[in-house]
Amino acid sequence: MASSIRTVRAASAIALASVATTVAVAFAGTAHAGVYTEVEFAPGTSAAVVDGAVVRGDADSYFFEARRGQVLDSTLTSVEGNANLSISGPDGPVIVVSDAWTRIVLPSDGFYRVTVAPTRGNATYTLYVEIV
């Protein structure tokens, strides 16, 4: 009897560990919290300023639509100099990473993403985006 109780307990422990591993793996790829929104340009303008704050481990994502050949100017300032931005193209790959400013000619038509993330601790920032 004691042997069958140990077997049941061992089987229960293995099943519980399996469930915990499955849950951990399921959440490992989950996106962090943060802003996920489209850049809003005022009517008749091609520039926008976004003020934000992002906590350690999170990232804020801003989207905009642009055409191939347009120039994107972006500037990121953070209170403690502890944030960077990355720009991803319509097909998904990161085009550029910077901690201050970028000026790039956009390679294709579509939606681009600017991601702001802290490099250490939390970051309060201002993001300037202009498409010409």
CATH topology of domain 36-131: Jelly Rolls (2.60.120)
DSSP assignment string, 37-75 = EE--PPTT-SEEEEEEEE-TT--EEEEEEE-TT-EEEEE
What is the tens place of the pLDDT at every residue in 93-125? 999 999 999 999 999 999 999 999 999 999 999
Question: pTM for the whole thing?
Answer: 0.74
| Residue labelled with tokens 């399921």 | 26
Domain ranges across the chain: 1-30, 36-131
Distance CA 71, CA 121 (A): 32
Length of the chain: 132
What is the tens place of the pLDDT at every residue in 51-97? 999 999 999 999 999 999 999 999 999 999 999 999 999 998 999 99
